[in-house]
């Protein structure tokens, strides 16, 4: 929901940095891998009861996630690059909640399972919608130039980053925050299903 408002603010500096990095020979795929490594390292820190330090690596990971696309736009976008990017994102999005469960299974286990189920459902609705849009030739740049169709919703990348930041700042509220965010993920997925039924039933 907030991505379309964040994009005009973050895209210009990212694109400028992407051009500079592209001139050094750094590839978009390598930056994607660096980003997911930083994200997974943040999960290790969370599981080791260091969530505030982990937040630094989460934010660095998301900067890398923005830079890989900027580098690709400055050089050459590839289908594999887009595939690698979305796969890395989903791994990161699953690893952070799982890390909180590992940090405190007794308190966070049930909420973590609920949240990951919501992520799974929301992710499936997102990718399924992208496949339908690709089949029909639909395009959108509402969330910036992407390798696949990004359908909007209540919760997008910006909201997820804010959510992860709140988890790191208030780790003892993981269960409450996860039930709230997971519930909104379910709503987002259902709304996307309704949109798919409306747009692709014929």
Give tens-digit pLDDT for 44-65. 999 999 999 999 999 999 999 9
Span 87-99, mean pLDDT? 97
Helix (H, G, I), strand (E, B) or coil at 2: coil
Is residue 3 very low, low, confident or very high in pLDDT (cuts 50, 70, 90)? low
pLDDT digits (tens, 9 = 90+) for 188-200: 999 999 988 998 8
Tokens encoding 110: 């049930």
pTM for the whole thing? 0.87
Name the domain count of the chain.
1
pLDDT of 8 > 90? The answer is: no
Instruction: Label residues 153-181 b or e (16+ Cβ within 10 Å = b).
Output: bebbbbbbbebbebbbeebeebbebbeeb
What is the phi/psi pair of residue 104, to 5°? Answer: -155, 75
Tokens encoding 133: 């849009």
Determine the structural domain holding residue 75 and report its residue range: 3-199
CATH number (domain holding residue 155): 1.20.120.1760
Q: What pLDDT score was predicted for residue 146?
A: 54
Helices and strands counted in the chain (H then E): 7, 0
Q: What pLDDT score was predicted for residue 157?
A: 78
């Amino acid at each position: 929901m907030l991505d379309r408002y964040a994009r005009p603010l973050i895209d210009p500096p990212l694109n400028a940095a992407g051009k500079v990095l592209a001139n050094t020979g750094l590839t978009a795929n390598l930056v994607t891998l660096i980003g997911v490594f930083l994200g997974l390292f943040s999960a290790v820190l969370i599981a080791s009861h260091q969530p505030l330090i982990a937040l630094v690596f989460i934010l660095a990971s998301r900067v890398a996630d923005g830079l890989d696309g900027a580098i690709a736009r400055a050089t050459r976008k590839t289908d594999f690059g887009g595939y690698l990017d979305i796969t890395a994102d989903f791994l990161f999005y699953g690893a952070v909640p799982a890390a909180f469960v590992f940090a405190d299974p007794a308190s966070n286990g049930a909420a973590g399972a609920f949240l990951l189920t919501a992520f799974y459902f929301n992710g499936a609705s997102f990718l399924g919608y992208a496949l339908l849009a690709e089949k029909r030739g639909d395009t959108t740049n509402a969330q910036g130039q992407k390798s696949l169709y990004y359908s909007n919703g209540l919760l997008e990348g910006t909201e997820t980053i804010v959510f992860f930041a709140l988890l790191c700042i208030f780790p003892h509220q993981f269960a409450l925050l996860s039930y709230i965010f997971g519930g909104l993920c379910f709503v987002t997925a259902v709304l996307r299903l309704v949109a798919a039924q409306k747009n692709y039933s014929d």
